[in-house]
């Protein structure tokens, strides 16, 4: 465990000097020190990290829930919904078509739709901070698209879980989906109307008790969610949604941050352990094709968002490139696909795709001005008399 943490930290420090995000570097550390790569092997069996990796995933989604507020839907309004809907329609639709084109199976195509369709909230936020664009006018639409993606994420995982669990018949699948959505609706109602009661239950001036309380609530409800057929990560997301709006929300965000970073690193490291580098060449061409599809769809989505918000080529290019990276959600789907026994090519494909875009995304975002030069302008042309 000590070696895993130190190796991930060392590689991330080295990569940070050249501006690379931490997520692909944690995965790379797992690949290099895993059982499938010659040299030092820290863990011969990736399952040894299974429980800690699961906790890392729970904390990642719990933190996303804390950052998301139901009131965000009201403030963004119609334009946020349009921009987010356009982004999802283009990217998820292209991902689904790409999945069917590969011919790996229907369940695999549904997984790939999510993998290609959802950007990485963690990397997007880091890019905005690192490039000093938090105050830019296009940042609000970018965050609005992330909010819409988070809502879609919860619904998509809830719908996908019964399919991946291999329901025996249509009626069984419908019952599983109904049970999952019913439980999800119950959590959503609790988040919407039970904030005051939940706030009183969780509130305490003692930081130690607060940490134990929210960590226990997130892990417990994640487990209950899994029993109801909802992905454990989404249960944790809903707990974060509930607690984020309480009077203790700001304290919880500060206290969970180091836990999220530490165990999140183990989640990415553990995913890297399961990847055999020898499998990556077998999916090289599909990965490159998927990256090309994502690049094209992001440019179209950026142009659509710019038209909705009346932005010019510069902000359009910033939107397109900032949302390019893929990360934690793709790896959640990879974990679910592996547990469901889907096509073995999915894990190396998703690993290669995430690694490439997680590195390429921030680099391209820093050079968005080059893309802006070739994008069409939304400004109306002057009328000649």
Query: Per residue in 12-22, pLDDT tens?
Result: 888 878 777 77
pLDDT tens per residue across span 260-269: 888 888 888 8
Give me the pLDDT at residue 292, please.
95
Task: List alpha helices for 170-206, DSSP H.
Answer: 170-193, 195-202
pLDDT at 238 > cutoff 70: yes
Closest to 189 in 3D by CA, of 200, 179, 201, 198: 198
Confidence bin at 382 (pLDDT 50/70/90): very low
Residue position matching structure tokens 């190796």 = 7
Confidence bin at 381 (pLDDT 50/70/90): very low
Mean confidence (pLDDT) of the chain: 83
Higher-pLDDT residue of 2 and 68 is: 2
Q: What's the rounded Cα separation, in Å, for the pair 63 and 352? A: 26
Confidence bin at 176 (pLDDT 50/70/90): low
- Per-residue pLDDT, averaged over 291-309, amounts to 94
Q: Largest Cα–Cα distance of the chain, in whole Å?
A: 76
Give me the pLDDT at residue 20, please.
73
- Per-residue pLDDT, averaged over 141-157, amounts to 79
| Percentage of the chain lying above the pLDDT 90 cut | 24
Confidence bin at 301 (pLDDT 50/70/90): very high
Give me the pLDDT at residue 109, please.
92
pLDDT at 349 > cutoff 50: yes
- Per-residue pLDDT, averaged over 86-104, amounts to 94
Q: What's the rounded Cα separation, in Å, for the pair 279 and 372? A: 37
Confidence bin at 296 (pLDDT 50/70/90): very high
Residue 383 CB coordination number (10 Å): 5
Give me the pLDDT at residue 383, please.
43
Give me the pLDDT at residue 351, please.
86
Reported pTM: 0.73
Q: How many alpha carbons lie under 13 Å from residue 230 in its C-beta half-sphere?
A: 27
Give me the pLDDT at residue 385, please.
46
Give me the pLDDT at residue 379, please.
56
Confidence bin at 169 (pLDDT 50/70/90): low
Give me the pLDDT at residue 94, please.
95
Higher-pLDDT residue of 118 and 144 is: 118
Residue position matching structure tokens 């290099």 = 32
- Per-residue pLDDT, averaged over 310-339, amounts to 87
pLDDT at 63 > cutoff 50: yes
Q: Which pairs count as long-range contacts for 292-298, CB under 8 Å and 24+ apart, including other chains?
A: 293/94, 293/95, 293/98, 293/116, 294/91, 294/94, 294/116, 294/324, 294/326, 294/357, 295/324, 296/94, 297/90, 297/91, 297/94, 297/116, 298/91, 298/323, 298/324
């Amino acid at each position: 465990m000590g070696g895993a943490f130190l190796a991930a930290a060392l590689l991330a420090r080295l990569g940070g000097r050249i501006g690379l995000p931490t997520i692909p570097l944690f995965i790379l550390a797992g690949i290099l020190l895993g059982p499938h790569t010659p040299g030092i092997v820290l863990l011969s069996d990736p399952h040894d990290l299974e429980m800690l990796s699961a906790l890392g995933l729970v904390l990642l989604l719990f933190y996303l829930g804390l950052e998301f507020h139901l009131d965000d839907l009201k403030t963004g309004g119609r334009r946020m919904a349009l921009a987010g809907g356009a982004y999802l329609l283009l990217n998820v639709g292209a991902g689904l078509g790409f999945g069917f084109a590969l011919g790996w199976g229907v369940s695999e195509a549904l997984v790939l739709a999510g993998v290609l369709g959802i950007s990485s909230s963690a990397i997007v936020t880091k890019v905005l901070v690192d490039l000093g664009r938090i105050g830019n006018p296009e940042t609000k639409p970018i965050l609005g698209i992330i909010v819409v993606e988070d809502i879609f994420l919860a619904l998509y995982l809830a719908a996908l879980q019964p399919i991946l669990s291999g329901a025996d018949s249509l009626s069984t699948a419908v019952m599983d989906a109904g049970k999952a959505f019913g439980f999800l609706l119950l959590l959503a109602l609790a988040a919407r109307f039970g904030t005051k009661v939940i706030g009183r239950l969780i509130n305490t001036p003692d930081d130690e008790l607060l940490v134990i309380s929210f960590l226990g609530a997130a892990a417990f409800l994640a487990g209950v969610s899994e029993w109801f057929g909802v992905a454990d990560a989404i249960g944790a997301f809903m707990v974060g949604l509930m607690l984020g709006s309480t009077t203790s929300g700001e304290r919880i965000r500060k206290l969970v941050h180091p836990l999220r970073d530490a165990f999140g690193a183990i989640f990415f490291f553990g995913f890297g352990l399961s990847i055999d580098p020898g499998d990556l060449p077998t999916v090289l061409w599909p990965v490159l094709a998927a990256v090309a599809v994502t690049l094209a769809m992001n440019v179209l989505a950026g142009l659509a968002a710019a038209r909705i918000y009346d932005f010019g080529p510069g902000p359009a290019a910033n939107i397109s490139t900032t949302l390019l990276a893929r990360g934690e959600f793709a790896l959640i789907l990879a974990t679910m696909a592996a547990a469901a026994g889907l096509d073995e090519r999915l894990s190396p494909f998703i690993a290669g795709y995430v690694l490439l875009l997680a590195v390429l995304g921030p680099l391209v975002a820093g050079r968005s001005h080059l893309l802006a030069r070739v994008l069409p302008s939304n400004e109306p042309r002057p009328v000649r008399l």
